[in-house]
Amino acid sequence: MAAGGAAEDCSFHYWKNPSPEEIGQSTLEFLKRLPGPTHIHVEGQDPTRCRAVTTLLHGNEPSGLHAVFTLLRLQIRPVVDIHYFIPSVDAARQAPCFVYRMLPHQKDLNRCFGKPFGDSKQDKLAADLIAKLERYRPECVIDIHNTSGSGPSFGVTTFMDARHDALVSLFTHRMIVTDLKLGALMEISETLMPTVTIECGGAQDPESDKMASDGLLKYVTYPDVLNQENLDISLEFFHNPLRLELRENRDIAFGDHSLLEIGITLLPDIENHNFGYVEPDTLLGFVAGR
């Protein structure tokens, strides 16, 4: 890695056992005290085992950071060592805070985990995170996000087995099983350790923060989080989600009639279709032009 100031943000700062005083009085204060991409290591009762949590891969998705803050403030002693990785601090800190998914002209960090890694700042940060997971060998990883807009919570996995089901069940009862390969962190499940994405619902939905904190509390205090027999929730599965991509530089609008000469107008309540089945005659929006 190149020397100098810029290189700093390509790897994680290390912070061990922060005290409640050091992290501040609110999630926002906590964010402002983070020195950049940060690895927080909290020692647990059994230091021979560990689990990992990633959150704030996207700067506008604060529920996971709020949950980490809450547990640190309460001085919850985890059952095993916990490694928190909080990468997109710079994007999250841009005023008025928690608005930017990533900084302008930067790559989406959660599309950078496919090997071989590129050499952008985001790729280097992704490579550093993977190197740390390979070094610490956590039993499992959860990656906490918020959905864009408003919506229900759900888990996402690229790997179907009881361990992944158990991890998602700590947080929510909806599970999306996808085989789309985008370079997301959870794709390391194939080669490293069980890893799931938790989508907590919208960043503005008050229940999202609570759901993240409640689930995280279970994740750090349950002796076994990979065995569903210990859990009382049964999952509802959604298979084969479809991803629709627009060509670059195509316009998109939201409205109940076509708003563009060339481009796509989606219905304002398109999020209502996030779960369930779409029939051939279901209206989703309008295409204008070729």
Residues that bind Zn ion (CB under 5 A): 58, 61, 145
The sign of the CA dihedral 132, 171, 209, 158 is: positive
Which residues, in sequence order, are CB contacts of 270 under 8 Å at separation 6+? 254, 284, 285
Of the pair 61, 165, the CB lying nearest Zn ion is at 61
**Structure tokens of 124?**
């280097």
Of the pair 80, 184, the CB lying nearest Zn ion is at 184
In whole angstroms, the minimum distance from the beta carbon of 219 to Zn ion comes to 18
Of the pair 61, 81, the CB lying nearest Zn ion is at 61
Q: How many CA atoms lie within 13 A of 145 on its CB side?
A: 22
- Cα–Cα distance, 98 to 146 (Å, whole number): 11
Of the pair 79, 126, the CB lying nearest Zn ion is at 126
Residue nearest Zn ion, CB atom distance: 145
DSSP H helices, 95-205, are 121-136, 162-169
In whole angstroms, the minimum distance from the beta carbon of 17 to Zn ion comes to 28
In whole angstroms, the minimum distance from the beta carbon of 101 to Zn ion comes to 7
3-state class of 212 per DSSP? helix
Residue type, 242: L
Burial of 253 (0-12, 13-18, 19+ CB in 10 A): middle
In whole angstroms, the minimum distance from the beta carbon of 58 to Zn ion comes to 4
- Cα–Cα distance, 210 to 206 (Å, whole number): 7
Of the pair 61, 123, the CB lying nearest Zn ion is at 61
DSSP H helices, the chain, are 5-8, 20-23, 27-33, 63-73, 89-93, 121-136, 162-169, 206-221
**Structure tokens of 268?**
């304002």
- Contact by Cβ (8 Å): 89, 31: yes
In whole angstroms, the minimum distance from the beta carbon of 196 to Zn ion comes to 13
Of the pair 97, 288, the CB lying nearest Zn ion is at 97
In whole angstroms, the minimum distance from the beta carbon of 154 to Zn ion comes to 12
In whole angstroms, the minimum distance from the beta carbon of 93 to Zn ion comes to 17
Of the pair 64, 138, the CB lying nearest Zn ion is at 64
